Chains A and B, each alone.
Chain A
């Protein structure tokens, strides 16, 4: 095989050749540092505030964003069942799609003074009553779920919390 890598195309060699020509701009230009900053992931969002304050902030943010929630039960003050109308620009063929997203927001204690707010997708409902019955979908179809509307609403909520705090 005569397949090979062109030596003059290797960045170090190219740079040496360019600097050898003594061009003024060449010395100013540094190589792009391809920092492979591994994205560090966390579950939900963390908080060190007092638990009741966290819950208060979440209710305030939900209210500002026009979401609604079920009245919390006495024995579980740390879970919020949210229903959030997702206004989408009506699409062309005006098809009726479920527009109420349900979400469960739950406060967990990791350790003393360290809490975590977890967001979970909890299905769709339609504001015009008809619940989309997906009984006949096979196991495979049931798993075609797009997280993007859910992710979008959580970014709205996180922004509201960030801005408020």
Chain B
């Protein structure tokens, strides 16, 4: 009973913290913002992302002198899917510019990502709510240039950065001591999964159709072995392997660089306080929940965590 009350109070005070801070407060004192000109070739933009060890960047259209949305791994997934259905269009894909990505979305019939944005001085709580509604995992912070009244992308906030900010600044996270299995925040039903031998193109379809950022790989007994993530697609394209899409997902995972930290797992007995501890200490983007024999039970994403903190209890 004590733990339940403590958790409820802790969540409320973390919520109050998120309402008392602005997105601007999350920004480091000094930071870089990498922006890509929309006339850049898609394959060149891939080099820029990989070179800078980032997976997304805002786009800037010099013709209108405005920002033109965000480049994310979903764009590269769209290009792979387009190419897979139009293998004769290699030339077009090779010469594709960033301002051509909209046509690719239309050609394969996917919804353009609804990138909500927010002013940096609005409460952090509002940015989280806006991000959740737009089912995107990142939100551009937009202000106006005082002379030209043109938009400025001040930065892009991600769920990861916000949770890290909470984990680093809210002592109350230590009082979140209820097991996550009791909180009804784990996604258990219809978690799309695949086998090590599944063709990587099928896994990419699962990522796209489910609008998820990772697909667990299980063996014939349902034991979790690995995970294919949306960001792995960048390495696939970089290697030019996307014209050999018959590769199995196991073979495609060989592209992963050696500094990949590995897949985080937990069980339903783990507490949010330990989950937040891990977020504080490492670059973890999701937790796969397994039972004691390692069988996949479900997944706890940063969206699930954020939703619980904002609206749970």
Which residues in A have some Cβ–Cβ distance to B below 8 Å?
1-12, 14-15, 18, 23, 25-26, 29-37, 39, 86, 88-89, 91, 95, 97-98, 123-124, 132, 134, 137, 141-142, 144-146, 148-149, 152, 155
Contacts and interface: CB of A to CB of B under 8 A. Distances in A.
B146 A88 contact: no
23 contacts: A1-B270, A6-B226, A9-B226, A10-B262, A11-B253, A12-B258, A18-B254, A26-B250, A26-B251, A29-B239, A29-B255, A32-B50, A88-B63, A88-B64, A95-B149, A97-B148, A98-B147, A132-B147, A144-B152, A145-B145, A145-B147, A146-B145, A146-B148
Interface of B is mostly: mixed
Bin the interface of chain B by size. 35 or more
Nearest to B294: A6
A5 B64 contact: no
Contacts, number: 152
A8 B262 CA distance: 8
Given A29-B251, A35-B51, A5 B278 contact: no
Contacts of A145: 145-147, 152
Contact of A2 (B144, B260, B267): B267
Contacts of B62: 152
B263 A5 contact: yes
Contacts of A29: 239, 241, 247, 251-252, 254-255
Given A14-B226, A88-B65, A144 B235 contact: no
Query: Which interface residue of A34, A146, A149 has the most chain B CB atoms within 10 A?
Result: A146
Contacts of B149: 95, 97
Interface of B: 35, 37, 50-53, 60, 62-66, 143-152, 224-227, 235, 238-239, 241, 244, 247-248, 250-267, 269-271, 274-275, 277-278, 287-288
